[in-house]
Amino acid sequence: MSTIPYRQHARLQGERIAAVVAATGFGALGVFQLALALGASWGHAAWGGDSAALTSGQRFGSAVSVFFYAAAAAVVLARGGVTRWPRSGSVLRWGPWVLTVRLAVGALPNVASQSHWENYLLGPLALVLAALCAVVARAPQPHDT
């Protein structure tokens, strides 16, 4: 039988669910960016939507973003208590808050873009991920549970 009070247990479950959903979103964005980096002609859905074919610099930027999304998924999963992190500390304490702000601010260029994909899919997705990261950021650090 669990010794955690029901409300605290329900809150932790909610934070775990938010972490898994956020990590899934980061994974989907990572796959999308990987496809762009490998030459998929989906440029109308990214980088301002100017052209279906990306420049080599944009493809490199997409490749770098794959690592960002992988790290973001790892941080939210660890902070949400779904996985373990080698050491608890400032990355888990501040990482989800940094992601929250970065995603919320990053939604603005997507909403202002010429690309309808960015306007109606990537911008709102960034806001949803920001909200999920805020939920995860409020979770107690894994060593505090």
What pLDDT, in 10s, does the model give residues 60-107? 999 999 999 999 999 999 999 899 877 768 888 999 999 999 999 999
Give the whole-number percent of the chain exceeding pLDDT 70. 89
96, with CB counted inside 10 A (0-12, 13-18, 19+), is: buried
Contacts of 145 (CB under 8 A, 6+ apart): 12, 81
Amino acid 125 reads L
Q: How many Å apart are CA 114 and CA 83, to the nearest integer?
A: 38
Question: Mean of the per-residue pLDDT values for the chain?
Answer: 89
pTM of the model: 0.87
Other CB atoms within 10 Å distance of the CB of residue 92: 21
- Confidence grade of residue 139 (pLDDT, cut at 50, 70, 90): confident
Per-residue tokens: 23: 């990590």
Q: Are 142 and 88 in contact (CB under 8 A)?
A: yes
